[in-house]
Amino acid sequence: MGNCNLIGAFSSTAGGGDSPYKRTTSFVIACSDETTALTTGTAKVTFRMPYAYTVTEVRASLTGAGGASGTTTIDINEAGSTILSTKITIDYGELTSTTAAAAPVISDSALADDASITIDIDAITGDADESGLKVYIIGNKTL
């Protein structure tokens, strides 16, 4: 399976109080099947934002970790331009970006309603054996 799939958008009341617009929501995008080794490439998935959205955090995870030196590097783009000044990385041997040596930095947190969003896999580890990539876009609906 070479395609990514939107798993779903999830909502939480955390940080939003009673306002449904400021509740934390997460878009979870599956960027591969669970067992096939990842390959690099642009626009591994393309989807449109269902509403204007403010990104507060991004992360990624793997089902199978890369076994050699290097990092798995992921980019998120809005209308062809990155939203990250420091891309998401997963260090070899790890399953999540939350433990990466370099944290991702969001440079464009405002995603427009109906914006075209793409996920790129920019780099993979030396063994090129990582699998099961999911990307998480976390934030809230923009008022």
Query: What pLDDT score does 5 carry?
Result: 56
Structure tokens at 131: 């699998």
Residues facing 137 on adjacent strands = 27, 58
Domain of residue 66: give its range: 5-141
Residues 6+ apart with CB under 8 A from 18: none
Stretch 65-93: mean pLDDT: 95
Question: The whole model's pTM is what?
Answer: 0.87
Q: Length of the chain in residues, anyone?
A: 143
Q: What is the dihedral of CA 58, 76, 27, 70, to 10 degrees?
A: -60
Tens-place pLDDT, residues 98-115: 999 999 999 999 999 999
pLDDT of residue 143: 80
What is d(CA 64, CA 68) in angstroms, rounded to the nearest whole number?
12
Q: List residues bridging with 135 in a β-sheet.
A: 29, 60
Q: Check which CATH number belongs to the domain holding 55 and give it.
A: 2.60.120
| Range scoring the smallest mean pLDDT among 13-17, 38-42, 106-110, 128-132 | 13-17
The band of 9, judged by pLDDT with boundaries at 50, 70 and 90, is low
Give the number of domains in the chain.
Answer: 1
How much is the pLDDT for 120? Answer: 98
